[in-house]
Amino acid sequence: MSRYAMLIDETRCTGCRACQVACKQWNDLPGEQTRNRGTYTNPPALSAKTWSMIEFNEIETGDKVGFYFLKRGCMHCEHPACASVCLVGALHKTPDGPVVYDDSKCIGCRYCMSACPFGIPTFDWDRGLLNNALIRKCEFCVDRVSNGLIPACAKSCPSRVIAFGEREQLIAQAEARIEKNPNKYIKHIYGKDEVGGTSMLYLSSVPFDQLGLPALGTTPVTALSEQVMEYTVPFALAWGATLAGVAAVVRFRNRGKRIVENEKSET
């Protein structure tokens, strides 16, 4: 279990996007050229230049409208698929919680992107060989956290939506909030158990899938693939031995045959 987490209480969020901009500021990310596509959500999706963003969801039920905001970004999974699948181990989960990236190892295979159940890692599509194309995603402001500061997004949030702290305590805090305002909250802490738990914990007043967080089970998505990898060496040894055995048996038998044949021909 990682030590730190962030509790994001979306019922407090006003969609002001201070967090989105603060993330760019702290991480020195450039602004993207965008256009208005009939929604406030912008840029349209996470990208190498945008590691965290607010998604605006307008939900109509009957003649009631709801307007909900989701802070999207890396979940810092307890069992991060991205780290599990990265062949060179460029990504890893620190004991403190952040899933961080060693950009000097990455070969750019983008398996992490494909595997992440939340679709988080992004890539520098517009960078060539000379421009250091890399995978990009939120790194939980590990540079701040490891220096005793809280993440930039949490720091900037004017409505104090984002609480940073010890994961266990935040879960307790989230449970207390749900208990205190049972009518306000969905009785579920998203991220507590999803895909084996994440360091981002969410509270919401609408079902999480409506908010845009996928319904995922509680098993880490890489459970199977890691199991397969565990069996690989024993399997390889066994299979290698079997093949050698088969080859030997066949040879042995065929040698017999050949000798007989040779004898026949000699006679």
Per CB under 6 A, residues contacting ligand SF4 are 13-19, 22-23, 26-27, 51-52, 54, 69, 71, 73-77, 80-82, 85-88, 90-91, 99, 106-112, 116, 118, 120-121, 135, 137-141, 151-153, 156-159, 161-162
Q: Please, what is the minimum distance in Å from the beta carbon of residue 195 to other proteins?
A: 9
Alpha helices in 6-91 (DSSP H): 18-27, 81-85
46: left (phi over 0), alpha (psi -120 to 50) or beta: beta
Beta carbon nearer to other proteins, 24 or 167: 24
- Site for other proteins contains 46 (CB under 8 A): yes
212: left (phi over 0), alpha (psi -120 to 50) or beta: left
- DSSP secondary structure code for residue 150 in this structure: P
Determine contact, residues 168/4, Cβ cutoff 8 Å.
no
- Site for other proteins contains 172 (CB under 8 A): no
Please give the torsion angle defined by the CA atoms of residues 213, 218, 221 and 223, in that order, rounded to the nearest 10 degrees.
Answer: 170
Determine how β-strand 4-9 pairs with β-strand 200-203: parallel
- Site for other proteins contains 243 (CB under 8 A): yes
Instruction: Tell me which of 26, 51, 68, 140 binds other proteins, using CB under 8 A.
Output: 68
Rounded Cα distance, 129 and 75, in Å: 30
Instruction: Tell me which of 3, 18, 94, 166 binds other proteins, using CB under 8 A.
Output: 18
- Site for other proteins contains 264 (CB under 8 A): no
- Site for other proteins contains 225 (CB under 8 A): yes
Rounded Cα distance, 223 and 198, in Å: 15
- The option from ligand SF4, other proteins, none interacting with 177 (CB < 5 to 8 A, set by class) reads other proteins
- DSSP secondary structure code for residue 10 in this structure: G
Q: ∠10-14-19 over CA atoms, to 5°?
A: 80
Beta carbon nearer to other proteins, 9 or 145: 9
- Site for other proteins contains 138 (CB under 8 A): no
- Site for other proteins contains 266 (CB under 8 A): no
Beta carbon nearer to other proteins, 146 or 242: 242
- Site for other proteins contains 218 (CB under 8 A): no
